[in-house]
Amino acid sequence: MSDEPSGVRLRSLALADTVRVREWRNLPEVAAYMYTDHQISEGEHARWFAGALTGDTRRYWIIELDDEPVGLANLYDISQLHGRAYWAFYLADARVRGRGVGSFTERFVMRHVFAELELDKLCCEVLATNEGVVKMHERYGFRVDGLLRQHVRKGGGRVDVVTMSLLREEWAVGRWSADD
């Protein structure tokens, strides 16, 4: 799409990203939209990171803009049996938000899931308080499947979670499926 910045790419997560990803994940503006928002310890992060680099049911990418790391995208619960995967992303560098980096990332992940992995369904869960991301997913053809009421505890209260999905045939007819 023409409104996306040039110089955006996604590269595989690497061991060298360990410290950076933990710092990002502990940023209050990132943690605010995650299921958990406690400060992640080095030990907890090391266990998570080891799992992130291995296994057939996950893929992680560092989002870069002009060769600078600015965020993380991932697929999880990849199931060839059921032909589906879940995905999530965040932009840790506030300076790049609203500049098309999220849109590029969304299209990259959709293309990877449907064209490369040849899955049939891409799912996501978004905190209901993150209305901007819900709307972005809808612009790319995702539909709301449901609402998980009071699904997570955040800041001493309960937060709803919006479940969304995009089917292969919906992606295939969307104007974004052919854009690079």
Domain boundaries, the chain: 8-173
Residue whose entry in the numeric block shows the structure tokens 């997570």: 152
> For position 5, what pLDDT does the model report?
66
Q: Quick one: what percent of the chain has pLDDT higher than 70?
A: 94
Name the CATH superfamily housing domain 8-173. Answer: Gcn5-related N-acetyltransferase (GNAT) (3.40.630.30)
- pLDDT per position as a tens digit, 46-63: 999 998 988 889 999 999
> For position 98, what pLDDT does the model report?
84
Instruction: List, for the chain, all residue ranges whose pLDDT scores fall below the cut of 70.
Output: 1-5, 175-180
Number of C-alpha atoms within 13 angstroms, CB side, residue 18?
14
C-alpha–C-alpha distance, residues 35 and 66, integer Å: 30
Nearest one of 106, 77, 79, 76 to 90, comparing CA atoms: 106
What rounded mean pLDDT belongs to the chain? 92
Give residue 77's identity as a one-letter amino acid code.
D
Nearest one of 26, 20, 24 to 41, comparing CA atoms: 26
